[in-house]
C-alpha cells in the first residue's frame, strides 16, 4: 500500500494556494518607526517656528522682550477716545485727560484687528465685540476676554508703547 501524506504535515502552499505575504523583519519595523518619529518631530519643529514668527500677539509687557517701542504723539490720542495703529496692532486711549492706556488691537474673539473707536468703545468689525477704552474690558460679546494691556508711558510729547 502506498504511503499517504497527512495534509497537516504538508509544507509550503498547496496547488492553487496563494503565496504567503512577505513577513517584516523586526529590524525593518524598528527602523521605519524611528524614521517616522524623526519626520514628525521635524515637522512639528518647523510649524512651531513658523507660527511664532510674529503672527500671534505678544503678551509680554516688558520693554526688554526684544520688540521695538512704538511712539504715538499725544496729540493723536483724543480725550474720551483713542487711536488704532493698524501696522503695529496697537490701540492707544485717553479715557480722561492725561490718563493714557495701550492695548493690543487684536480682538480676543477670533483674532481680527479692531476697527474703530466709537464713544467709549473699541469695536471689532468682524463680529461686533466691543471693549472699554478705560481698561480694555469686554463691553459687548461675543468675546469673553479683555484686550491684552500693553506697557506704556508718557515720554515728552509721546506715548511710548512696548
Rounded Cα distance, 145 and 107, in Å: 9
pLDDT tens for the chain, 162 residues: list them.
555 555 555 555 566 666 666 666 777 767 777 677 666 765 555 544 333 344 333 333 333 444 689 999 999 999 999 999 999 999 999 999 999 999 999 988 888 889 899 999 999 988 889 999 999 999 988 989 999 999 999 999 999 998
Q: List domains and CATH numbers for the chain.
A: 67-161 (2.102.10.10)
Give the ranges where the chain is alpha helix by DSSP (H). 26-51
* Alpha-carbon distances of 144 from 119, 135, 147, rounded to whole Å: 21, 14, 10
* First-last CA distance in the chain: 102
Q: Which residues 6+ apart lie within 8 Å of 99 measured at CB?
A: none
| Cell output for 49 | 517656528
Phi, psi of 161 (to 5 degrees): -115, 130
Amino acid at each position: 500500500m502506498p504511503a499517504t501524506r497527512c495534509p497537516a504535515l504538508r509544507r509550503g502552499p498547496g496547488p492553487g494556494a496563494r503565496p504567503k505575504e512577505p513577513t517584516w523583519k523586526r529590524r525593518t519595523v524598528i527602523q521605519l518607526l524611528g524614521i517616522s518619529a524623526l519626520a514628525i518631530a521635524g515637522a512639528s519643529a518647523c510649524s512651531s517656528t513658523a507660527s511664532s514668527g510674529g503672527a500671534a500677539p505678544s503678551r509680554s509687557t516688558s520693554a526688554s522682550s526684544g520688540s521695538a517701542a512704538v511712539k504715538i504723539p499725544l496729540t493723536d490720542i483724543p480725550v474720551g477716545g483713542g487711536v488704532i495703529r493698524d501696522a503695529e496692532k496697537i490701540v492707544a486711549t485717553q479715557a480722561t485727560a492725561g490718563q493714557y492706556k495701550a492695548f493690543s488691537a487684536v480682538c480676543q474673539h477670533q483674532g481680527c484687528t479692531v476697527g474703530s473707536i466709537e464713544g467709549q468703545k473699541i469695536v471689532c468689525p468682524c463680529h461686533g465685540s466691543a471693549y472699554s477704552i478705560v481698561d480694555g474690558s469686554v463691553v459687548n460679546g461675543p468675546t469673553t476676554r479683555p484686550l491684552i494691556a500693553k506697557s506704556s508711558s508718557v515720554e515728552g510729547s509721546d506715548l511710548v508703547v512696548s
